[in-house]
Chains A and B, each alone.
Chain A
């Protein structure tokens, strides 16, 4: 709800269109109060002293003794206020790092100068992001070239989008409507054109919109075809670990470490298979770096994620 002033689009406060926006704004107003209080206090004291102790009425006096209690007060009090801000801020920040388990995953690829979006059901779009209201959405993002940043002010979320890795952000949109999408990390010539629209829809309308997909194939289906095309099935399940039930499980590595098999792990294992070797297996997998596009990679990952339900008696646990 923006405070609309006069005619036109002029606003003083941004739209609030996600649950997270409330958390951020609450904290923002707390900080605004503190800022207003101390700014007025200091400015007020400066003006007050400058008038009250002006040269014409105030003679030069011997200096007052130093007051330790005063120094301690204005050291400790701001420290306490800062710690409150820190803890509150860290709690809101932690929310941004913990998407709910049932979040809808949408894949985003940034490139100079556009956003490419892929929905699990198969529909793709450019510079637009259609999402249902009332449902948590997680964006799994990467870049094909330089660093970008996916920023929707009305949701109060922002996350750099880096080449060579996945970063993610999540939000739960509340109000159907159209909101600005900006690239917020300078990315070259047409940085200011790397903008778009986040379209929040009623869930039924979103479902209808998804169904209009021209290809009709979901990411999982496309991913399964790619899985065979790239020959992944030749080894996985025999010479290499089975991928059934892999996603979101804990994988024991050759060096004794344990990692969680999330999207970043799958991505790295496909592009740089030697980075993390699963305990008990040979390093026979070739790299697929440069052989598949970011979109195809996402489709294969989405296919592997779809296998999570078929968790077998895990052969990779064997020594």
Chain B
């Protein structure tokens, strides 16, 4: 048997942890003015967790409302504000910053053997910019709310909505700069600060994913800023840009909005793909099958993602030929995603697999992302899109990508690197239970929505015909389970901070430079700059992980 019998490092650890980034100063000032990428990652983690539960609470409320055909809880205006705040908060303040700003911040320097990001002050500024945007949007949500949907479609958002559009849009505008700055920082860091010997094709796949994501952030987000600015100009000064009554063109807004917001979907999913590419080799004790294909697929997705925005607009009034071209291009972006899925699956072949919590999330990710991706074909396919777009089918599809994909990836990352980030081990039992609850709750919430969508139930309806009730009740039941599933990690992870076993430097016996440091890493990351002399993921030479 391969079970490790040597005593865990825990036993011999001194009572006080050696100097590390967490005990390097306890004052509020030492956190709020820190230039340490790891501490900034923690600041981000706390902030996005807060936004995640705000957005989640809104979702629970409107799912409960949808238990009855006439709506159980709210008046139409409140319902509209709830789904809008859910979308805006989850997309702009949770999903987009989630893995890049938390895990990317923490891991990029550690994985490439650097002491910090290239621009530590800029990194701290990014967090302040993010918080400024988040605060403003939070204010908008409380002071009157906003009811445009997260897509801000014109001319409704510019000339008709009586809600707090300007404050919310300004919040989104400001937060965009935090994305741009983070992306810049990562690109510069990955280019210039890799340890000696760490060539491009020795980089962890997570770094490739972060690099591709950063390119999208830097190229795409300025377009969001422009779009939101134009929206503000029309709403405040009544300059005809989007509203035909003023001489504008409403489709122009949709083109601009999706030019950013489609690539933004890849900002959300590419980092998760990077996480999965780290977890699977570790728990299969095997090099990733097709390393270069997985790496290049990330780059391909980042590039192709900029040429498919029009597939959100097949029934918008865009020309038939426009629709045909965007459909054609959209199918190409499916290919690198498929290549990744096949390579991950092949990595399992002849591995030595253990199903610990991070692996459960990674395998769950593959399953849900595959299903989400395949249902994306229905939407890229012009003939079927006519029927399913604007319905619950599309809601189900993008939640399979954004929750089944992006959130599962984020939770997988948290569970995988938690021992590194905190130096503590969480309860494996509760980890597995929660992963299972989230998987079941997720599918029960969103699978019925595919059927609802094909039946024709439009999204953003606060009331619906009675024949849709059974499926809505199922979805709400699933959402309650999912909500519980998301609360559990909050509890046992916090619990582990005080009561968890000490993790030791390399809890999973994983490859990668971040695991050569102590846990939690010291402020300077590495005592001496590491030198890389071999290929990544040499799991055949690693001893087995602790828990086995």
Interface set of A (CB-CB < 8 Å, partner B): 8-14, 23-24, 27-28, 31, 34-35, 38-39, 42-43, 45-46, 49-50, 53-56, 58-64, 66, 70-71, 74-75, 78-79, 82-83, 85-86, 88-97, 112, 145-147, 149, 151, 153-154, 156-160, 162-165, 167, 180, 182-193
Contact = CB atoms under 8 A, between A and B. Distances in A.
A25 B345 CA distance: 32
A95 B76 CA distance: 37
Contacts of B284: 53
A46 B348 contact: yes
Contact of B339 (A62, A71, A92): A71
A25 B409 CA distance: 34
A71 B244 CA distance: 50
A306 to B, nearest CB: 27
Contacts of B156: 146-147, 186-188
B421 to A, nearest CB: 25
User: B284, B382, B387, B460 — which one has the most chain A CB atoms within 10 A of its CB?
Assistant: B387
Contacts of B343: 71
A71 B544 CA distance: 29
Contacts of A88: 381, 383
Given A61-B540, A82-B377, A158-B390, 5 more contacts: A31-B381, A39-B374, A53-B349, A71-B293, A79-B332
Nearest to A185: B390
A58 B382 CA distance: 46
B320 A147 contact: no
Contact of B153 (A83, A147, A163, A184): A147
Nearest to B155: A146
A63 B349 CA distance: 10
Contacts of A23: 383
B76 to A, nearest CB: 5
B165 to A, nearest CB: 12
Contacts of B464: 192
Interface string B229-251: 00000000000000111000011
Interface string B360-385: 00010011001100110110111111
A14 B387 CA distance: 11
15 contacts: A34-B374, A39-B374, A45-B348, A46-B363, A53-B349, A78-B335, A82-B377, A89-B327, A93-B314, A146-B156, A163-B250, A185-B153, A186-B460, A191-B80, A191-B460
A183 B349 CA distance: 49
Nearest to B293: A71
A86 B454 contact: no
B455 A153 contact: yes
B449 interface: no
Contacts of B350: 53, 58, 61, 64
A20 to B, nearest CB: 9
B333 to A, nearest CB: 10
**Interface hub of A11, A88, A190 (most chain B Cβ within 10 A):** A11
Given A43-B367, A74-B339, A167-B317, A63 B287 contact: yes
A24 B393 CA distance: 15
A58 B348 CA distance: 11
Given A53-B351, A55-B354, A60-B352, A11 B383 contact: no
B386 A55 contact: no
A64 B287 CA distance: 9
B68 interface: no
B2 interface: yes
Contacts of A160: 315-317
B461 interface: yes
Contacts of B371: 35, 39
B477 interface: no
Interface string B315-359: 111001001100110011011001101110110111111110000
Contacts of B244: 162-165
Nearest to B324: A90
Contact of B351 (A11, A14, A58, A93): A58
B367 A193 contact: no
Contact of A14 (B331, B332, B455): B455
Contact of B315 (A42, A45, A95, A159): A159
Given A145-B160, A158-B390, A90 B327 contact: yes
Contacts of A75: 335, 338-339
A91 B155 contact: no
Contacts of A193: 76, 463
